[in-house]
Structure 1
């Protein structure tokens, strides 16, 4: 198996769902570049994005959205996080909180008390590609694996399809 983090490997191996670990050149780990280089469909790629409150008590949540969608930060995320303002967590905050690098963040192996919100459209895919917890691997998994994670919740309308320009 590629160099996934040990805790992520353990989650995959303990799961009843099929999975594949794919090696990835770290320079090609960002979603759009990865999909183009490795011939993967963006609609099957799911990004795990850490968000944080900007006002009030500091709160975080991890959101899983398809690469073809945009996270609804200002409405859905803000309301669910119960914050007046929210933003994306920095690369440093993401690394500190999850132990994972931007370009490889995955919904697996996150802190047990971190809310994990999954856009409903992710669950409609047959399989999805997630980061491997680092920039050198990707995980191809059944999206049902996400709902087995602590604090996981499927959220209708968490993200919206990105309008394609003509």
Structure 2
């Protein structure tokens, strides 16, 4: 039941249910706004955390779902995607594109769908965890579920 969830997380809950993903959103006692904090709270490897990073690229938001084990190489990714540049979105751009705050951006539940890249390294984990719309919420899913949920393009981001 999603009644106990923050409003942003209820949107995410509804979106993952509509996509047929059975995992429940977990409310953590402390904010898990970084991959390391989320991994510690959940008792999983940091690589199994699917960081939702919003970038700005060629005049539009770009959501990159990346393993918490590494950083996105924006220059290499821009080259792979044939884009002019990829830069970090500002907090205002993140909020406008996703309706969510940095540290809690989910892969879904946004006002409009976003062009999404999914880090191929996440495929190594049988279960991954993504933010649930706030820095205190996360949910489990599989790599194929993440790709289906986001309509993302699977590619190396490092």
Tell me the TM-score normalised to structure 1 length. 0.80
Higher mean alpha-carbon deviation, 135-144 vs 22-31, is at 22-31
Q: Which of these two proteins has the greater Rg computed from alpha carbons?
A: 1
| Gaps in structure 1 of 5+ consecutive residues | 160-166
CA contact (8 A) 1:29 1:103 kept: yes
Instruction: Label 1:28 to 1:101 Cα distance change in 2 as closer, same or farther (>3 A).
Output: same
Tell me how far 1:79 sits from its aligned partner: 4.6
Q: Note the alpha carbon deviations across 1:90-118, whole angstroms, 9 max, x for none.
A: 12210111001111111112354421110
Q: Distance in 2 between matches of 1:113 and 1:81?
A: 20
RMSD between aligned alpha carbons? 2.2
Tell me how far 1:78 sits from its aligned partner: 4.9
Number of aligned pairs? 154
> Residue in 2 aligned with 1:158?
157
| Gaps in structure 2 of 5+ consecutive residues | none
Q: Distance in 2 between matches of 1:75 and 1:147?
A: 21
Tell me the TM-score normalised to structure 2 length. 0.84
Once superposed, which parts of structure 1, at least 4 consecutive aligned residues long, lie more than 3 Å away? 25-29, 110-113
> Residue in 2 aligned with 1:66?
67
